[in-house]
Structure 1
Amino acid sequence: MASTTGGCLCGAVRFTVSDLPAQFGICHCETCRRWTGSALLGVTVAEANVAWHGAENIARRQSSAIAERAWCRDCGSNLFFRFTGGGAPVGDIELPIGLLDDANGMELSNEIYIDHKPDAYAFAANDRQVLTRAQCVEKFPLLDAL
């Protein structure tokens, strides 16, 4: 996809993303569920491709040994998840697709931590990659710290 815009609920933080991927994923891990109140529907973007406006309104917290999360200081909207590797940022962030001004045309490509998903809901798609927690950790050992 081309560049797109988005922002928080109150508008204090806005962003423009260049080279937005057309595919997004869903994470059902306990941390993402607690952060969002449900599953995280997120798109992975290179941090260098995001231009923030109102960055002084972004609060950050190291939410685990390997990642930080950010939100708007004014309205509390969740803004992004970033792997830090236990320290410095690694380079990519997960933006919740609900922050995008227009997420039309995006395609669900994967669900991770599927074995942590509550049975109360399911997403309608059957042509995506689905991984359990163990499969995620096998593919990305850093996730074992979550």
Structure 2
Amino acid sequence: MESGIEHSGACLCGAVRVKARTQGTSIGACHCKMCRTWGGGPLFAAECGSDVEFEGTEHITTFSSSEWAVRGFCRRCGTHLFYRLKKENHYAIPVGLFDDRDVWEFREQIFIDQKPSFYSFAEKTRNLTEKEVFQLYSGE
């Protein structure tokens, strides 16, 4: 694995283990409708780039949720394992998978314009709308 901070963890049943490197301890929340439908609420994830390794890959099932992304989960217990951009092979890993749960800092919220009004967070974060997210990743 490349330089950075290594994190490891597993799905609920332990059939899939993950090791990933992040450049820091920041996490973000995605409020898009797909993430909220997938998990019943916002997706809290650590950005891991492509530096991710899985054990137990025979237990991973994927779903192509859009033309640009794939979502992975454990076929035994249903745990959400990753959101991956197809083009860049960039992974966002749900932070709850990792064993070191107390090291994270909540820094960013994306698709903030799709966040329902029934919840909000006290932390001061960088907040990006859907348009801002697509501009950031498309380079426009």
What residue in structure 2 maps to residue 30 of structure 1? Answer: 33
Q: CA RMSD in A?
A: 1.7
* Matched residue, 1:74: 76
The gaps in structure 2 that reach 5 residues or longer are none
- The amino acid across from 2:81 in the alignment is L
CA distance in 1, matches of 2:39, 2:72: 12
Decide whether the 8 Å contact of 1:29 with 1:116 is kept in 2.
yes
- What is the aligned length? 136
Between structures 1 and 2, the one with greater strand share: 2
Q: Shift in Å at residue 135 of structure 1?
A: 1.9
TM-score, normalised on structure 2? 0.89
Whole-angstrom CA distance in 2 between matches of 1:9 and 1:31: 22
Provide, for residues 92-143 of structure 1, a one-character-per-residue CA deviation record: whole Å limited to 9, x for no partner: 10000011112212111110111111111111211x210111222232349x
Matches within 5 A, 1:1-146: 2-19=5-22, 21-47=24-50, 49-85=51-87, 90-126=88-124, 128-141=125-138
Moved over 6 A (4+): none
Q: Deviations over 1:16-58 (max 9, x none)?
A: 22346310111100111111110000111022x2221111111
Q: TM-score, normalised by structure 1?
A: 0.85
Q: In structure 1, list runs of 5 or more residues that go unmatched.
A: none
User: 1:51 and 1:138 mapped to 2: Cα distance?
Assistant: 29
After superposition, the Cα gap between the structure-2 partners of 1:121 and 1:21, relative to the gap in structure 1 and judged at 3 Å, is same
